[in-house]
Amino acid sequence: MSIPSNLKYVATHEWVRTEDDGTITIGITQHAQELLGDMVFVEAPAVGRKIKAKEEVAVVESVKAAADVYAPVSGEVIAANSELDSAPEKINSEPYDAWIFKLKPDNAADVAALLDAEAYQAVVDSEAH
Amino acid sequence: MPFIPHTEADIAAMLASIGAPGIDALFDEIPAALRCGKLTRVPEGMNEMQVTRLLGERAALDQPLLNFIGAGAYEHHIPAAVWQIATRGEFYTAYTPYQAEASQGTLQVLYEYQTMMASLTGMDVSNASLYDGASGLAEAILMAVRAHKTSRKVLMPETVSPIYRSVVQSIVQLQDIELIGIPFDKSTGTIDIQALEQFDGKDIAALVVPQPNFFGALENVDILTDWAHAQNALTIALVNPLSLALLKAPGHWGTQGADITVGEGQPLGAPLSSGGPYFGFMCCKQGLVRQMPGRIIGRTVDLDGKIGYTLTLQAREQHIRRAKATSNICSNQGLMVTAATIHMALLGADGLRRVAAASHANTAALTVLAAGLHGVKPAFHGPHFHEVVLQLDKPVLPVLAKMKAKGVLGGYNLTECYPQLGNAVLVCATETKTGADLQSFVDALRGALD
């Protein structure tokens, strides 16, 4: 199970990458895409939208389910990945490349407080029945 | 798949298999206080002979009256083949098509229906139907508000049926959506375009455009559609599907076309039946398809590359999205649209055109004859489809009562819902009426006004 150690995570299965300029890039994990199945559609948030941590920000739709993607921290949406409009399946094939949206976080400290790879592994393990 | 009921032996075997003592035991989870027990006020059941006799006596009370009432439900001839075919067991008791591999027949008919409706309305996509025109309009408004994202205000012309406006109000009133009434021009009976000017540049989610409107009058759909789009609002077309055989399809209204088209499908093969069942149709532009409620049938290929049909875009629906579904609707009017599809296939585009043209011609002829009577005048000037508003010099209800005594249902009383029109009645003559029928109407009306 791929859980890159250079990323941060949220218990709701989002991964977070901090960029050099302090903004963050968000997608969903390998574990999440496996559970959801073949992706068919992504509803990304509007650029400029101000969001609070844990707020539903995007929706990913697979052949069998539709799942909410949550904001890992409070901030402003600065970009949405338009590639996913025509190729949502990239989330299945390259979950850590196929980012969904980018945020300018209100507080860098919020990002540091997110789960590391080990903590996220524990979350995944606890979900396995 | 045929429906075969269980025998007592089948039931006993199933109960034994799961170890349940009886069927009642399966409901043990429901608290005793909530179970309804004996229904003491419901009379004993009757046997088939008694029921047949009772209903025969009641049927004899129905008088065959010459019907000139429209107002949202229209009497049209339905070819005998329509219901002969629609009542075949495979259509009549087909189950909901969630299991595609067992429902290809149903799914194909629904796909054909969607194709016909999209073609008739000039729109990109159609769903597999809603419950009726009124709730369909409510769904269209909810959909437009979702799609618009910023405004929750919808402009609702008073030329939309008062019944539809009431149903829409009931459905949207708890959803923080504001319906703003738009008055009509008293000489044409159409939307007062100048009354829209106060909304120029304002944040509006949608404008509802009826065509024809409740009075049977034709609205200026191109101007209205372009105006709505200029304010960044959606245009919701509310149309009579039969009229589309003669009128411009909503997908071609203005420069960009209507965004959502809804209406009542009853004129396409559903008998009047005291008000239902009917069906609502809904079509939209491709870009809005994920906001459209209701079932949608798609065509695809199976593993062997053969064409197959299936429910698609199901992630909009509540069995997947639950509270975030586009609507609580999870059904369609399968039997009614089956009949409508057969009806449209039998008539064809040309047949529909002739029915629409004959209805229009009959109402036009009726208008001329009625206007020749003392004490009767058409309320509005301008083009009409197949209904006309007549203003009388006497109160409407007693006139209608006298006409009914002569075997004629003279029309729909507008006095309560449109007091500004005075003694007004809405009259409709479809292709079912002969010259002699029109004369009967005129004679009955003349007699009632004396």
Residue B16 lies in a domain: no
Q: Are B355 and B334 in a shared domain?
A: no
Comparing B95 with A30, the larger pLDDT belongs to A30
B324/chain A closest Cα distance in angstroms = 10
Domain boundary among B311, B341, B371: B341
Q: Sort B441 into a burial class: Cβ within 10 Å, 0-12 / 13-18 / 19+.
A: buried
Residue B22 lies in a domain: no
- Residues 6+ positions from B174 with CB-CB distance below 8 Å: none
Q: Are B171 and B210 in a shared domain?
A: yes
Residues spanned by the domain of B432: 66-77+349-449
Chain B residues within 8 Å of chain A (Cβ atoms): 149, 290, 315, 320-321, 324
| DSSP state letters, B266-280 | TTTT---GGG-S--E
User: What span, in angstroms and rounded, lies between the C-alpha atoms of B117 and B123?
Assistant: 8
Q: Whole-angstrom distance between the N-terminal and C-terminal Cα of chain A?
A: 16
Domain boundary among B341, B374, B397: B341
Q: pLDDT tens digits for A35-88? A: 999 999 998 898 999 999 999 999 998 888 889 999 999 999 999 999 999 999
pLDDT at position B446: 97
Domain boundary among B341, B358, B392: B341
Q: In chain B, which residues have their Cβ closer than 8 Å to the Cβ of A64?
A: 320
pLDDT at position A16: 96
Q: Decide if B315 and A43 are in contact by the 8 Å CB cutoff.
A: no
A66/chain B closest Cα distance in angstroms = 6
Q: Are B309 and B415 in a shared domain?
A: no
Residue where the block lists tokens 């021009």 = B185
Nearest residue in A to B313, CA atom: A63
Q: Are B321 and B411 in a shared domain?
A: no
Q: In chain A, which residues have their Cβ closer than 8 Å to the Cβ of B149?
A: 46
Chain A residues within 8 Å of chain B (Cβ atoms): 40-41, 43, 46, 61-62, 64-66, 68
Q: Are B252 and B285 in a shared domain?
A: yes
What CATH number does residue B394 fall under?
Answer: 3.90.1150.10
Torsions phi, psi of B254, nearest 5?
60, -155
pLDDT at position A64: 81
Q: pLDDT tens digits for A82-115? A: 999 999 999 999 999 999 999 999 998 999 999 9
What CATH number does residue B135 fall under?
Answer: 3.40.640.10
| Domain boundaries, given as residue ranges, for chain A | 8-124
pLDDT at position B37: 76
Q: Which among A13, A20, A17 is positioned nearest to A97, based on CA atoms?
A: A17
Our count of domains for chain B comes to 2
Query: Is this complex scored with an ipTM above 0.90?
Result: no
pLDDT at position A1: 65
User: What span, in angstroms and rounded, lies between the C-alpha atoms of B51 and B47?
Assistant: 6
Fold of A8-124: OB fold (Dihydrolipoamide Acetyltransferase, E2P) (2.40.50)
pLDDT at position B399: 98
Whether pLDDT at A129 is above 60: no
The pair of three-digit structure tokens given for residue B208, joined into one six-digit string: 């509802």
What string of pLDDT tens digits covers the 450 residues of chain B? 567 899 999 999 999 999 999 998 999 999 988 887 778 889 999 999 999 999 999 999 988 899 999 999 999 999 999 999 999 988 988 878 888 888 999 999 999 999 999 999 999 999 999 999 999 999 999 999 999 988 999 999 999 999 999 999 999 989 999 999 999 999 999 999 999 999 999 999 999 999 999 999 999 999 999 999 999 999 999 999 999 999 999 999 999 999 999 999 999 999 999 898 999 999 999 999 989 999 999 999 999 999 999 998 887 777 777 777 778 787 889 999 999 999 999 999 999 999 999 999 999 999 999 999 999 999 999 999 999 999 999 999 999 999 999 999 999 999 999 999 999 999 999 999 999 999 999 999 999 999
Torsions phi, psi of A74, nearest 5?
-75, 145
Pick among B296, B316, B319, B321 to test the A interface (most A CBs inside 10 A)? B321
Q: In chain B, which residues have their Cβ closer than 8 Å to the Cβ of A66?
A: 315, 320-321, 324
Q: Are B392 and B296 in a shared domain?
A: no
Q: Are B89 and B219 in a shared domain?
A: yes
The packing angle between helices B104-121 and B334-371, to 10°, is 30
Q: Decide if B320 and A66 are in contact by the 8 Å CB cutoff.
A: yes
Nearest residue in A to B291, CA atom: A43
Q: Decide if A61 and B315 are in contact by the 8 Å CB cutoff.
A: yes
